Amino acid sequence: MPEPDGAADRMSWVVSQFSEAQGRFDRNVTPFGERVRKIVGWSHEVLPQLAIAGEIFDLIYVDGDHRAASAYRDCLLAWKLIVAGGIMVIDDYGFMPTLPPEKRPQGGVDAFLKAIRWDYKELHRGYQIVIQARSASII
């Protein structure tokens, strides 16, 4: 579904999507109990907080704001949290190809991949992109 253009509309759209997604997330992770820690917040705030806390992850799934500049920012911030050899899945790479480029993730993801071109191996390219951070064993 395309996001609305106006800033105020956009915020209320994102917040409504947020609560829908949260409900789905809660239902999906219930079976895993205390093995899952849920953090609610904006990606541009939470991802730097995780980096400052020194957290690192084996697998990161990027699936937030669809605008190209936001996708670029989220991918870069998330990439800093990945372990060597870790996997990052970027959703919605092929989202609504007829939308203007700034309103869909593809341009932002392409710019991100260019920025890290020496640091990853591409595992899959389709509607999603799957990449693996290089490690000593891969190079």
**106/94 Cα distance (integer angstroms):** 7
Q: Which is nearer to ligand SAM, 2 or 101 (CB)?
A: 2
In angstroms, give the least distance from the CB of 32 to ligand SAM: 16
Q: Which is nearer to ligand SAM, 65 or 132 (CB)?
A: 65
In angstroms, give the least distance from the CB of 123 to ligand SAM: 20
Do the strands 57-62 and 82-90 form a parallel or antiparallel pair, or are they unpaired?
A: parallel
Q: Which is nearer to ligand SAM, 49 or 135 (CB)?
A: 49
Residues 54-83 that bind ligand SAM (CB under 6 A): 63-65
- Beta-bridge partners for 59: 87
**122/129 Cα distance (integer angstroms):** 8
